[in-house]
Structure 1
Amino acid sequence: MIEDSAQSWITGQLALTLLAVDPAGLGGLHLRSRASPVRDIFLGSRPPSLAPLRRITPNIADAQLFGGIDISGTLAQGRVVKSKGLLAEPQFLLLTMAERCTAGLAARLAQALDTQMGHCLILMDEGADDDEVAPMALRERLAFSLELDGLRAAELAEIVLDQHDVLRARKAVGEIGVPEDALEMLVVTAARFGIDSLRAPLLALACARAHAALVGHTSVTGEDLQIAAQLVYSHRATMIPQEAEDSPDQPDQAPEPEEPQNHEADENLQDIPSEMLIEAVKALLPPEILSALNKPGSAKGAKGSGGAGQKRKGNRRGRPLPSRMGTPTGDNRIDIVATLRAAAPWQPMRRKAQPEASGLLIRSSDIHIRQYQELSDRLIIFGVDASGSSAVARLSEAKGAVELMLGEAYSRRDHVALIAFRGEGAEVILSPTRSLVQTKRRLAGLPGGGGTPLAAGLKAMSELAQQAQSQGLSPSLAILTDGRANVPLPGRVGRAAAKEDAETMASVLRSMNLPSVMVDTSVRPQRDLNVLAGVLGATYVPLPRADARGLSKAIGAALEV
């Protein structure tokens, strides 16, 4: 463990040094680490020749990045005053909480990196889960990636670097020669590791040139290519290269005469076959990544929303919230009343300081921005067990509960949907709607009888919930069943398979993080259904003899309607 930590630390130090040599060519570093002393030590160990870090956050405004009209300066001087943006000159940026970076900000920062003005970016990624990560649009433009979690400050080695070497390398990197077959070797190596981005070989070539300049080479050598492949490809690999099959024996042929090589770099590249680049990248692949690359990837469930609809703060519409201090951009509006209220107490003092000024004296600290809170509409998806001899009574209760809850939906902006599962599968009887007339018409001919395909019902509910989320709704689930799953998904047979499939689909629904309630309609509470509710993460409510109004109240209480 200490050796692995030391290797990771030395790799990170080398990455920072190479960034100091060629920040524009390498793009930057994706630093995945929670707040810790190790992270502070790492950021503090940057070479002094590296430009100072400018910290930015995911909520930075476009005016701060690209410049714009200075509102307070314009009001004070009576003419249009433009402010200079942060990206007007080459910067070394540190984006904190990069896992929260929006797609819009990622696109704008990626555009700034593509301009080749000399910008360099460190993504400080503090995500705890695998799905909490900085945007790919930024990560693929950065040469290096490093994870510091698990390292301890006591295990860190002190690395001393001559800063004169870094300054010398920065001046010489543009003159480093590149052999003809160097880029070809990097492209082939990237392809064998399943790296389909064309940026990766270009970043690896820039890394090789920076390393060559740092160690004093006049041209890229095989050693430089090995180190570049390790640093740039190890975190991008999506597959393990397959061993090449032995070719059939062929008769010996006389080697053709070759011209003598006059370049030292070309001789060094001939000494480093492409297979050594493959092994060099494998050497830096962590064991968990090696095992993961040998397994098919699994899709991650989407995060859901709960309560009475997801709360979304915006700047255009919704319920007004208290204004806040801020800078006006194209995405928000100035609260004129709040701005004047903040500036009013300071007018006498400012008038004494500027007696020649006329009108209101407004400073940037006075400007307040409007805020709104918009509630997304909620969708209650009913999954009703329509199987067996008691289906008629259950469906009658479900119909009444749906109609009662829909009758109150107009004040809460709720939608309802109904899925019935019976026989061999599930069917969407009622698509998401707020129409009471349409609901009564669809519920009138709801069929019943047959087996209990509980897994198919849960699967249909997950598909409808995903579709609703893509349309901006916040789904909630209400499942009414007696828990006797006896029909598995297509391709399997037996009650054991039916139970296993139901638990699998319940796990899928749980990963979506949706508010759920499991209503047990059997004569006696079923232990298996209680266990299934735990797998689903739903509230278990046993109601053996509840009428429509009782069902409506129980479901409403469980879902906090």
Structure 2
Amino acid sequence: MSTTADAGPAASPHWAAAARAVALFAIDPAGLHGVSLRSLANPARDRWLALLRDYLPEGAPLRRVPNHITDSRLLGGLDLAATLRTGKPVAERGLLVEADGGVVVLAMAERLSAGVAGRVGGVIDRGEVQLERDGLGLRSTTRIGVVALDEGLADDEHPPVALTDRLAFLLDLSAVTEADLSVPALPAEAVAAARARLGSVGIADEMVNAICSAALAFGVASVRASLLAIKVARAAAALAGRDSVTQEDAATAVSLVLAPRATILPNAEPPEEEPPPPDEPPPPEENSEPDPPEEPEEQEDADSIDPKELEEMMIAVAQAAIPDKLLAQLREGKTVRSRAQSSGGGRAGAAKKKGRRGRPAATRAGEPTANTRLNLIETLRAAAPWQPIRRQEAEREGRISTLVEVRRSDFRCTHFKQRSETTTIFVVDASGSAALQRLAEAKGAVELLLADCYVRRDNVALVAFRGKQAEVLLPPTRSLVRAKRSLAGLPGGGGTPLASAIDAAGMVATTCRDKGQTPVLVFLTDGQGNIARDGTPGRPQAEKDAIESAQALRIAGFATMLIDTARRPQAMAQKLAAEMGAKYLLLPYADAQAMSRAVKATTADSVAAESRRG
């Protein structure tokens, strides 16, 4: 009997896809690797996790991994108490080893560090935990599935790509309503029967080719996605009670695995014209018996489909399943980054690695300093394997052996990191050219960006330039009212001291960086400087000084964006953006959302640069 994984006819498409995915994932958690579940803590997420518990085999472990887990607890390490008691190294099983044959749930996966994500991804790839630390060298078979709970609020907050690239499903429950949850779910017996049938399910080569072609058509670069889609198609066939993958099973796979990863829309090709029918049918041959009925042949043709038609069908199914928000961006002709490709982060500022406050970042060998703390447990772990040797040395030297002998080489210190604040510095051209043309529009654009920064809890600063020099109208602050007042009272007219503005913005950014903040510079100018750095008029010298200041800004490594306020692209503004390493955006074609996205992208670059610098 055929059984589908649908949540039911009354369920919304979002919940139907989520219910289908949880059933397929429970059939083969280790083979499908996992699910990225984007949702806040709500009834929909609780219902999805409850279904997962019901669908998993009896006795299969389901372990929750906290965001701040240590490597020793995640992968295993030295059992300190047992080692000190027995006098020899004793290994402790890590949480991933304990979850062998089951599923681990990663809490707040959007905040997961790249290191932890990489280690979990390595265990998924190898199917084992390799432990080589604290004098131990062990290999433990570990076949697990992963559920990454993504609680990110912004579009650019996602789990690390090292993890999501390995997971079969990227689900979003934000559109699921409580009414959807009342729809009866698939019985657990059907999932158990599909799990037993999965090993005997085959897939034809044309199905594999169609799935891979669909991935290529939608710009899904990772080969993992195609391999996972093939596994999902086999699981869907097993759930439907079939021994081989059909078009329906392949369509389920591309809609659940490939559609959320789409980065482009396939180019529509005109349909090929069918050849015209012959004018007259050929005359029947004499003394020939009538042809036998061709019903069996037609039935055979109905069961088999042309590979080209199969590929087109898979592409159409995937396009129909693309999330609405992603589809709108693709239709605008934009090449977007999918959730599996998004690196996440970029809002909270760079991670500062110095200081004794914040979240523990790493534990390393070394003596305690003003910026680190001695980690007593890890120090004892490092010293424990050497105790038998040190006791023998003490006996040979005639010293009294202590219970635990700790040496300087055993010291392990904890290093901390904390997120710095992001400061967006707006540098506004209030000179005569800008005042006559676009100053009003520039002010409106800055007000929109200021409001967006306020929502993100960023600090903002305002630098204006006109006459002979630039002026810091507003030092870094979180007061949106003060920023708007300073901007509203900004007069226009006079020369364009562009070099002075770049220097002033660089000094403000340097001060912010010295305070531990992450600066982002946003210039609004047409690039037509005519006042040199020393205040004398003259366009050639002014442009030369502006280029020198821009190059110095680039050397400092600040993330920068230049919004051209002219009505048409200005060559000098483009050259200035290139010299300072800034992103270039033309104001007439940049609405509020486009500018906001550009500022967010620039902020993300700044965070990454500052993190590497730290």
| Corresponding position of 1:13 | 19
Unaligned stretches of 5+ in structure 2?
Answer: 1-7, 128-141, 282-295, 367-371, 381-401, 433-465, 472-496, 574-584, 604-614
> Quick check: 2:76–2:92 contact (8 Å CA) kept in 1?
yes
| Corresponding position of 2:56 | 49
> Quick check: 2:365–2:412 contact (8 Å CA) kept in 1?
no
> Quick check: 1:113–1:119 contact (8 Å CA) kept in 2?
yes
Matched, 1:468 2:557: yes
| Corresponding position of 2:77 | 68
2:72 alignment partner, SS class: helix
- How far did residue 327 of structure 1 move? 11
- How far did residue 217 of structure 1 move? 0.9
| Corresponding position of 1:225 | 250
> Quick check: 1:92–1:120 contact (8 Å CA) kept in 2?
yes
Distance 1:276 1:408 in 2: 58
Distance 1:426 1:411 in 2: 29
1:490 is aligned, of 553, 559, 570, to 570
Aligned residues: 449
| Greater displacement, 77-86 / 176-185 | 77-86
Distance 1:125 1:213 in 2: 29
- The alignment's TM-score, normalised by the length of structure 2, stands at 0.57
| Corresponding position of 2:480 | none
Distance 1:167 1:282 in 2: 31
Matched, 1:118 2:124: no
| Corresponding position of 2:355 | 319
- How far did residue 72 of structure 1 move? 3.4
> Quick check: 1:110–1:141 contact (8 Å CA) kept in 2?
yes
Unaligned stretches of 5+ in structure 1?
Answer: 255-259, 341-357, 430-444, 478-484, 515-561
The structure-2 alpha-carbon separation of the partners of 1:21 and 1:82, relative to structure 1 and needing over 3 Å to count, comes to same
1:157-186 per-position Cα deviation (integer Å, ceiling 9, x unaligned)? 333433333222212211112222111111
| Corresponding position of 1:31 | 37
Matched, 1:204 2:241: no
1:49-96 per-position Cα deviation (integer Å, ceiling 9, x unaligned)? 343421113322221222112233323333222211223334411111
| Corresponding position of 1:441 | none
> Quick check: 2:506–2:553 contact (8 Å CA) kept in 1?
no
> Quick check: 2:423–2:517 contact (8 Å CA) kept in 1?
yes
The structure-2 alpha-carbon separation of the partners of 1:20 and 1:446, relative to structure 1 and needing over 3 Å to count, comes to same
Paired residues for 1:16-415 under 5 Å:
16-46=22-52, 47-50=54-57, 51-88=60-97, 89-116=100-127, 117-247=142-272, 267=303, 273-295=310-332, 296-297=334-335, 303=346, 312=352, 314=353, 318-321=354-357, 334-336=374-376, 359=403, 370-372=414-416, 390-391=467-468
Distance 2:310 2:518 in 1: 64
Distance 2:520 2:235 in 1: 60
> Quick check: 1:386–1:420 contact (8 Å CA) kept in 2?
no
Distance 2:303 2:509 in 1: 79
The structure-2 alpha-carbon separation of the partners of 1:288 and 1:487, relative to structure 1 and needing over 3 Å to count, comes to closer
| Corresponding position of 1:449 | 537
The structure-2 alpha-carbon separation of the partners of 1:487 and 1:107, relative to structure 1 and needing over 3 Å to count, comes to same
Residue type of the partner of 1:490? Q
The structure-2 alpha-carbon separation of the partners of 1:202 and 1:270, relative to structure 1 and needing over 3 Å to count, comes to same
1:15-40 per-position Cα deviation (integer Å, ceiling 9, x unaligned)? 11111211122111110001112211
> Quick check: 1:29–1:142 contact (8 Å CA) kept in 2?
yes
1:98-122 per-position Cα deviation (integer Å, ceiling 9, x unaligned)? 1111221221111111124531111
The structure-2 alpha-carbon separation of the partners of 1:292 and 1:406, relative to structure 1 and needing over 3 Å to count, comes to closer
Distance 2:535 2:329 in 1: 47
The share of aligned pairs that are identical, in percent, is 29
The structure-2 alpha-carbon separation of the partners of 1:229 and 1:424, relative to structure 1 and needing over 3 Å to count, comes to closer
Residue type of the partner of 1:44? A
> Quick check: 1:32–1:126 contact (8 Å CA) kept in 2?
yes
The structure-2 alpha-carbon separation of the partners of 1:226 and 1:81, relative to structure 1 and needing over 3 Å to count, comes to same
> Quick check: 1:6–1:157 contact (8 Å CA) kept in 2?
no
> Quick check: 2:24–2:236 contact (8 Å CA) kept in 1?
yes
Distance 2:186 2:517 in 1: 64
1:178 alignment partner, SS class: coil
Cα RMSD (Å) of the superposition? 5.8
> Quick check: 1:420–1:426 contact (8 Å CA) kept in 2?
no
The structure-2 alpha-carbon separation of the partners of 1:289 and 1:266, relative to structure 1 and needing over 3 Å to count, comes to same
- The alignment's TM-score, normalised by the length of structure 1, stands at 0.62
Residue type of the partner of 2:56? S
Residue type of the partner of 1:97? M
